[in-house]
Structures are given as C-alpha cells and as structure tokens.
Chain A
Amino acid sequence: MHSKKLGWLLLAPTLLILGLFGIFPFLYVVWVSFHEWNPFAANPAKIFNWAANYRKLVFDAQFLASLGVTMAFVFFAVVSEVIIGYLLAQAFMKDFPGRAFFRTIHTLPLIMAPIIVGSIWKLMTTPSIGIIPYMLKHTVGFDLNIGTSAVAAFAITVIMDIWHWTPLVTLTLIAALVSLPSEPFEQAQIDGANKRQIFWHLTLPMIRPALIATVFIRLMDAMRTVDEVLMLTGGGPGSATRYVGVHIFREVFPRTNYGYGSAVSVIVLYLTIVICWLLYVSLIAPRTRKGSS
C-alpha cells in the first residue's frame, strides 16, 4: 500500500501523548521510588538509597492493612455481584412484557460518576439525615452508624459497589445467555436432567468465557475503587475502608515523602499488572492467539 511514513505520522500524536502521560510517568515513578526525596525536608535533594523505600514498605503496617481491606472488599463485592448478576440474568431470560424497558433502567447506574454514587449513598446512610439508618432503627431497632462502626462502613461500601456494578455483570451475562444454542438444553430436558445438573454441566461451561471476562473486569475495577469510598467514608472509621487507592490519596500523597510514595505506587501497579496479565493469559492466550480485538 502507500508509504509507511504516513501511517506512523497518523499514529504519532497518539503515541506522543500516551508516552508523555502514560509510559514516562511510569518510568519516572519507578526511578523516584529508589530515592529518598522530600522537597520540604531539611535536605530537599533526591538521594539514591537503593531499595530502602521498599524495605520500609514491606513493614508498613498501615499499607499492609489497606491491602488487606482492599482484598476483602474486592472479594465480597465481586462474589456478590457475580451471584446476584447471574440470578438477575436468569430471571431476565423468561418471557415477560417490558423487558427492554427494565433492561434500560438496570443500565442506569453504570453511566453515573463514581463520586456521585458516593454522594448519593452518603446522603442515604449518614446517621443524622439518612433514610437507611432511620428505617433500620424504626423497623428492626438496629443502629446503623457508618461513622463509628467499622463493619457497617465496610458493608455499606460493598453494598454501594453492588448497587453500582451488578448491572454490568447482569448485562454481560444476559448477552452470554442469549447467545446460547437451545438444542443441548432441550436434549438435556428430554434426558431427564434436573435444573442443578443442567446448570453445572451445561450452562456454566458454556458461559464460562463471558463469566471469566466479567469477573476479571470487575476485579480490576474493584481494586482501583477510590472516588465513591472517598466520598462516602473518607476511608474511615479508622482504617476500616481505607482501600489502596484511598490510602494513596489520603495518607501517601499529602505526606510529600515522594520517594516512599512512589514505592507504594509502584507496588500497587505491580499487583495490578500481575492481575491484568493473569487476565490476559486466561482469556486471550488459550484462544487462537490471534489479534486481541
């Protein structure tokens, strides 16, 4: 075809911008993470200190605790979302009037800004004005206070995430279920298989690719949850909901200990890359190793 020069010229602005704001910050943060650097300390210069930041990091109880709560949050949120999402997708497969309409409503939370979701749930759960604590107190006598109870705050962040992202799971699984062929299921019913057998031996293996894709996308998104939690609880009470993103934003970033902050960022990125890579291997690699589109 025509000259490759033109092709590179068309790609150049994209590569330049992503290089300047994607790859270069990455290299820069790795480089800074091997230095002692606090511009507001007695010695504002960068001092190379080998892996001292990382040595400090593996003993940083706050950071490790925040990794722990992040994992707990991701686990509870993603597991609930997948189970609820699957049940809703199955419920959707029945024939009933107004399907498209309900599907549309169900899509609504997906487009909302995370910070707005946080703000909505803050308005609903703040003890003095929220409707949920009010209802709980007057119906079952339970005192819900996300400002003082660590468990309540954690649970509300999980519920908020379920409200926000279950629709994504539902809609992807609906797409997977709709595309299933009907013959194997009819055959299984003729052969007298019960519902549970059909689920474990037929439905689950057939929707497996879509299921894995959804789980990993949710996993990655849940790991980087920041905005809504920052808005809802600010990471509190104590460190009950201080997930890694919130930890970086609230505790690491304002400290101006840039070398150490960089080390934290690098390790979080490292964990994300490892998970992304597992996603890539389990999703794309087993298939016909053709282009990733």
Chain B
Amino acid sequence: MKLMRRHRSWLSVLFWIAISFVTLFPIYWLFVISVKPAVELFSTPELLLRNVYWQNYIDVLNNPTLRGYMLNSLIISSCNAVLVTTLGFLACYALTRFDLPGKESIFFWTITNRMAPPAVFLLPLFLLLTQVYRIGDFKLADSRIGMILVYCTFNLPFAIWTLRPTLDAIPRELDEAAYVDGASPWTVISDIVFPLARPGVAVTLILTWVFAWNEYLLAATLTNFNARTLTTGLSEYVTTTGTAWGIMAAISVFTLIPALIVFSLVQKHIVAGLTFGAVKG
C-alpha cells in the first residue's frame, strides 16, 4: 500500500513537471530567440542553446530612443506606484476611521473604476488630455505627469482595495490613545498607523508598480514620443520592421525582468490581487 502511494506521488510529480514545461517553455523560447543572431532564426530551430549572442541586448541598450522609453517606464511606474499607495493609504484611513455618510457607495464606486475596460476610455481620455486638460501651452497628453495620473484610474482602486483590510486590522484603540495624548492626525498616521501597515503597503507598492510597468494600451494612444514607455517601444519594433525579431525578443526580456523580480517577492499575493480579494491566494 505504501509503495503504491509512493508510486502515485511520483506520477503526480511527473505530471506537474510536464505542466511546468508547458508554462516555462514559451518564456525559455523568448530568451533563446533573444540570444540568436538574425540569420540563425530562419534555419532549423534547435531546442538547446549552443552559443549565446548578446548583440541584441547591446543594440537595445545602445539605442537612445529605447533608453529613453526605459527611463520613462521607470519614472512613470515608480511615481505612479508611490502616488497611488500614498493616496490609497490616506483614503483607506478615512474609510476605516471616520463615519462618513455614503462611504460604502464611494468604496464600491472606486472599485468599478478598475473594472471598466481601458479600450472604452481611449477616446475620451485622448480628447480630454489633448484638448480639455491643459494649462496654457502645457497639455497632459504625451507627458509623464499625464501618464502618471491616467494610470491612477486602474491602480488607485487596486491600492484602496488591498490596503483597506490592512488598515481595518489595525486596532483603533492605538489611534485613540495617541489622540488622547494630544497627537495630531498627521503624526498618528505617520508614526502609529503607517509602521503597523508596512507589509500591506509594501505589497501594494510592488503590485501597482508592476501593473503600471505592464500597461500598454493607454500609453500607446496617449503618448507620441516624450512619455512613451517600453511596452509601446516593443510594438513599434513589430510594426515598422517586421524582421527585427531578435531586438523585439530582447526588449521583451527587458520588460519581463522587473516583473520576474517582483514575482519572486510577492507571488503569494498575486492571486488575491488579481481576483479583487474574492479568493485569498
């Protein structure tokens, strides 16, 4: 009987190795393409790598346009993550500590902002950012600040959604005690609530960063050059030069790396984040 069970468990392992192969092979293949010279791509595909050819990566790093896109991606996603986490934290503090009329409706409404399909908002956001939201000559369209604000539409609801349970779990008595001691609301938030909420804040910061980094559709329509991100750079390579497969793969790897790092940091929270907490991962 025991032997039988052992046998079964090895079958399970084999099965999951096969599944993992299906999961990992496309990513492996991306890497393989990115380290091959263009001439080799059209010959017989080989599953194993013989030699590694780094020129595609060097070309990407030497391309000033792509370097600019990378910088834009970094600045936009970092600023956006910090902004939405800060604002989400303050909003959740208000939602959990104050008895505001209609706050559950407000909470529900903020969440619906994330559920809206971005394609629907392409046209109105484009029109508003190019024609309506402007100060003198400065338009929000094709500016980093504009993209940082636009990304709030999907990241801010997410931050509020994930931070609310964190703040709910922090006992209100701690705040009360500090207020009795004469502390101002800002010191309570920054010195008492924030340190206790730090793990939740870190997860929120990291996941919102990835969502902003991964975004493509809005960046592709709302930017021309100044605020283009790496994901839009990737699509440019496909449409203008259909043959630069190696470069395209190398850009993809560059786009993928931060996400992989983040994945290793917070993989337990990803499922809860993607299902709106409907399922605790």
Whether B202 sits at the interface, judged by CB under 8 Å, is no
Verify A97–B87 contact, CB threshold 8 A.
Answer: no
* Given A2-B185, A8-B100, A172-B271: A131 touches B45 (CB 8 Å cut-off): yes
List the A side residues contacting B88 at CB < 8 Å.
Answer: 14
With an 8 A cutoff between CB atoms, is B116 at the interface? yes
Confirm or deny: A213 has a beta carbon within 8 angstroms of a beta carbon on chain B.
Answer: yes
Chain A residues with CB under 8 Å of B108's CB are: 292
B44 / chain A contacts, CB cutoff of 8 Å: 134
Please state if B235 and A91 are interface contacts (CB–CB under 8 Å). Answer: no
Give B147-175 as 1s and 0s: 1 = Cβ < 8 Å from A's Cβ atoms: 00110110011001000110010000000
Q: Separation in Å of the A149 CB from the closest CB of chain B?
A: 19
Q: Mark B92-109, 1 if CB is under 8 A from A, else 0.
A: 011101111000101111
Pair B267/A14 contact, Cβ less than 8 Å:
no
- Cα-based distance from A122 to B245 in the complex (angstroms): 10
CB of B166, distance to nearest CB on chain A (Å): 12
Subset of 26 A-B contacts with CB under 8 Å: A6-B98, A14-B87, A15-B106, A17-B87, A17-B152, A18-B156, A21-B152, A32-B123, A95-B9, A105-B24, A110-B274, A111-B270, A114-B214, A115-B255, A116-B234, A119-B30, A119-B249, A122-B238, A123-B245, A131-B45, A168-B274, A175-B281, A226-B119, A230-B235, A249-B122, A258-B127
- Residue numbers of A with Cβ under 8 A of B are 1-2, 4, 6-8, 10-11, 13-15, 17-18, 20-22, 24-26, 28-29, 32, 88, 91-92, 94-98, 102, 104-116, 119-124, 126, 128-129, 131, 134, 163, 167-168, 171-172, 175-176, 210, 213-214, 217, 220, 223-224, 226-227, 230-231, 244-245, 248-249, 252-253, 258, 261-262, 265-266, 268-269, 272, 276, 283, 291-293
Using CB atoms and an 8 Å cutoff, list the residues of chain B in contact with chain A.
5, 8-10, 12-13, 15-16, 19-20, 22-24, 26-27, 29-30, 33, 41-42, 44-45, 87-88, 90-91, 93-95, 97-100, 104, 106-113, 115-128, 132-133, 149-150, 152-153, 156-157, 160, 164-165, 168, 179, 185, 210, 213-217, 220-221, 231, 234-235, 238, 245, 248-249, 252, 255-256, 259-260, 262-263, 267, 270-271, 274-281
